[in-house]
Structure 1
Amino acid sequence: MRRLLLFLPILALVAACERSGPTGLSGVLLYGSEPLADASVEIYLKAEKDRSVQPFAVASTDGEGRYRLELPPGRYFIIGKKRQSSIDGRPVMLMAECPANPVQVEKGMLEVAPFALREMGRDGRLVPEPGTGLSGRVVHDGDGVAGAFVYVYTDDAVDLVGPSYGAVVETDDAGNFAIDLPSGTFWLAARRRADGSRLGELKPGDLTGTLGPVELKTGQRLNVGTLTVRPVDPVRYRQKRKEGRFADSGTALTGRVVDAEDRPVPGIYIFAYLDSRMVGKPVHISDPTGPDGRFRLNLATGGTYYLGARSAYGGPLEPGEWVGTWDGTADHHAVVETGQVEELGTIRVREVW
């Protein structure tokens, strides 16, 4: 009888567990106000994490945007992600952290309030003012240019190229554009690359043009009229490559760009800097890697260079890009003598979220 009494609490505990069922999280991911199917839901144990930290658990949303994860009781951080492609083939990276983070799982399945993912890297760095913005039309030979990107700069000292633009917008089928902005003085650059990409070196066949300065006041919707673009001059382009940062001087660094699985990665530029911080404009840039991932970085002279790799040429780093550094030294520097070609081995890149 005594032995039976000892077993009763254990049986009661087991029965209670069976009645309570599994514990975990469930909810819905949105894009705008619509359910988002085939998105990833990642669960982390800490908010302070870098990209090397693997999620504690991962699930996918169903056709109605719903997800469900069985988890032990605890405190969790939820992140939603999805990679997809735009109409023009540009990678679109959607992501958001759950506004309720961290969530506490105690008993049963916790229903998390729906939250929406947003497109990363498309928010710009200028904070618009209500009712304030610019509009216009990009034209070439009198016709509107669809799919051109209009970049908004706050300083013309950068020659309206490179990573210092504050906002960007794409033209519609008729070449029209509109963008919300704060008040201020702006310079506009319009570029239509033949491959439809938003970033990268301009080449023959691409269209480019500039406009400015433009003064914009608070509460003003200003139409700037037409922004004319012209083809890149092939003669000037070739001359630039002979004399500029791409010129072959007999001094170079060579190697191969690979991903985490050692597969070659095409379309990657190698950048050489004189500063270990690797900020601003590089002093030399390679041609993009080919299908075999090989690169040759031509240098004007020998010296010490700090090396980075990226799939885009200019503009802020955005989700969907590939990025990396040469890790042959702790601070990513390589040394080459004038007139020598130095083989660096591999540079490993990763996709940025």
Structure 2
Amino acid sequence: MMRQLYSMLCGMLALTLLATGCIPRADQISSERRVANYVEQGGKTGIVGKVFIKTGGAPLAGAYVNIYPDAISNLLGPSMFISLPTGSDGSYSLDVPAGTYYVVARKRLSGKAMGPLSPGDYYSEHQRVVTTVVPGKLAVVDMPLVVIKAPMFFKKEVVESQTGTGVRGKLVDVSGNPVPGGFATAYVDPEMRRLPDFASTLSDENGDFILYLPGAGTYYLGARIHAWDMPRPGEPYGRLGGDNPQPVIVEKGTFVEGLTIEMLPFDGEYKPGKSRRPI
């Protein structure tokens, strides 16, 4: 009975927040954007486009475009290809072989091509932009960027390749609907008010995620939408087991299957001074 009452209250809160625009609906969170626009230019094969500021559409010079062959690393860290800095009109061009790629754009105020992102830097939001390059054509991928307003975090360790050990599960909201564009976080102990030890791939349109782990162990799972700062009030947030984190025992060479993490509107207190200590 208490659980039903809690779910009903959370549902009412979620509807209020959705109505006021405080949190996005699940169908507004885009986990993947596929681009299939092409031009021909002397038989060249690759990717071209423009990088611009999402609000207002002004071209963004000095940005770098990274090309990844897969999304296992959550599009962080070294990429397979990286462009020269974008020109004054925000344009970039990359010669890459035919194949399917993930495209990410970033501009650091430091001017560096690589390194952690900081407040004031620009990035192409938390979604996957995918394009397929075909021989003799240039895929046209324009990238809107937004400003980071708080220090980004993601995970302490990066599992850069698919391993045979991990967790497969689903992110859902209070009504049981899938949450795309989020990610599961993993910790090696139940103290989850810190930087995650590992993170999953972004959840797809069905809310499904894959969390690759380097080895066997006991893990505690959470779920987030944004990869920075503490959760804000109303932001979808979840922990497997709720207030009593549930341990998940993972054996080497196997996947724990079918876990569901429910994401509720965060009702904790936001502390600006703790922004570098994400919860």
TM-score, with structure 1 as normaliser = 0.37
TM-score, with structure 2 as normaliser = 0.46
Instruction: Look at both structures and tell me which one has the larger radius of gyration over its CA atoms.
Output: 1
